[in-house]
Amino acid sequence: MNRLNPETTPRHELRAERARRNRDAALAAFVSRKAEIDGMLARLQALSDDHFNVGPDEVNWSHVGSLGHIAERLADITAFAFGEDAPDA
């Protein structure tokens, strides 16, 4: 990557170049975070597809409580993502 020479390049070009590099870095960070979230969602979906590793004869109230905890956290995340009010606790 060519860097501009601050002694010979007008300031507006230097600022524009810094802004471009900043946007590029933000885009790379965004794509990385999105991939991180996609991975977590895929893991959660696989776990849900497997009934959270609990067979029908094994279900007890602790499993219900665990799913309630997960549901509460996902409700908060969903409300945040869609700009909605957080659900009542």
Q: Give residue-wise pLDDT tens across range 9-39.
A: 788 888 888 999 999 999 999 999 999 999 9
- In this predicted structure, the answer to whether residue 89 has a pLDDT above a threshold of 70 is no
User: Which positions ≥6 away from 79 have C-beta within 8 Å?
Assistant: 85, 86, 87
Q: Tell me: do 2 and 43 sit in the same domain.
A: yes
The residue range of the domain holding 69 is: 55-89
Task: Using CA atoms of 27, 30, 34, 40 in order, give the dihedral in degrees to the nearest 10.
Answer: 150
- Residue 67 CB neighbour total at 10 angstroms: 14
User: Residue with structure tokens 């959660």?
Assistant: 44
Instruction: Give the Cα separation of 6 and 21 in Å (integer).
Output: 15
Does one domain contain both 45 and 63? no
Same domain? For 2 and 31 the reply is yes
Q: pTM for the full model?
A: 0.77
User: H helices within the chain, ranges in order?
Assistant: 11-49, 61-81
Claim to verify: residue 66 and residue 25 sit in the same structural domain: no
Task: Evaluate whether 79 touches 85 at the Cβ level (below 8 Å).
Answer: yes
Domain count, the chain: 2
Q: Are residues 60 and 31 in the same domain?
A: no
29 and 59 share one domain: no
Residues 27 and 3 in one domain: yes
Summarised one tens digit per residue, pLDDT across range 61-77 is: 999 999 999 999 999 99
Indicate whether 61 and 45 sit together in one domain: no
